[in-house]
Amino acid sequence: MYWQEKLNIIKKKYPSLVFRDMFHSGGEVAEKIIRKFHNATYLTFKQCDDPKTLLKDCRLVKETGILELENYLYELEDGINYWLFLLNPPMGNTFQVYDCRKAPLIDLYYLASGREDLKFYIVDKKYEWLLLVEIETEENTAFIYESKANKNGKEI
């Protein structure tokens, strides 16, 4: 089954308040995330192979096995939406942005996890904090980094 077909299943499973594919306005959201959290322009960001080198105030929060990453994702707060920003989505686009709560976010993670060396952001919709998740499939390891939009940002 292709990415879009699987994505359509997720769209049918959740109401629009819980999951939205930001296909038409995702570029605007991505640009805002780049401006808030990176020492980069949109073009510099698109050309960079390692986005964590561009993140402001980036620090490693957790190194864990891929299977344990699921437990970490389940710790996200219920009832609020996040931006899920796939940096190297399976469908080959440069990136893709989704507006979703925890359950569809985890569904999308599973959907995208077939991609080797998956990278994605989970971003607070108030743009106070960002988590970068980098998965190294061959090493069976996930690295979770955090960045805050400002020094006084909310603790994650």
pLDDT at position 124 is: 95
- Given pLDDT bands bounded at 50, 70 and 90, which one contains residue 156? very low
What digits encode the pLDDT tens for the residues 64-85? 999 999 999 999 999 999 999 9
Q: What is the mean pLDDT of the chain?
A: 89
pLDDT at position 4 is: 83
CA angle 130, 134, 137 (to 5 degrees): 160
Give the residue-averaged pLDDT of 110-135.
Answer: 91
Q: Three-class SS of residue 74?
A: helix
Confidence check: pLDDT of 109 > 50: yes
User: Residues 6 or more apart from 124 whose CB is under 8 A from it?
Assistant: 82, 83, 130, 154
Q: Kindly provide the residue ranges of all beta strands, DSSP E only, lying in the chain, ordered along the sequence.
A: 19-21, 59-65, 82-86, 96-100, 119-124, 129-136, 141-148
Rounded CA-CA distance 51/140 in Å is 20
pLDDT at position 6 is: 87
Rounded CA-CA distance 64/30 in Å is 27
State the CB neighbour count (10 A cutoff) for residue 109: 19
Write the single-letter amino acid at 97.
V
pTM over 0.75: yes
**Residues 104, 109, 111, 115, Cα dihedral to 10°:** 160
Write the single-letter amino acid at 56.
K
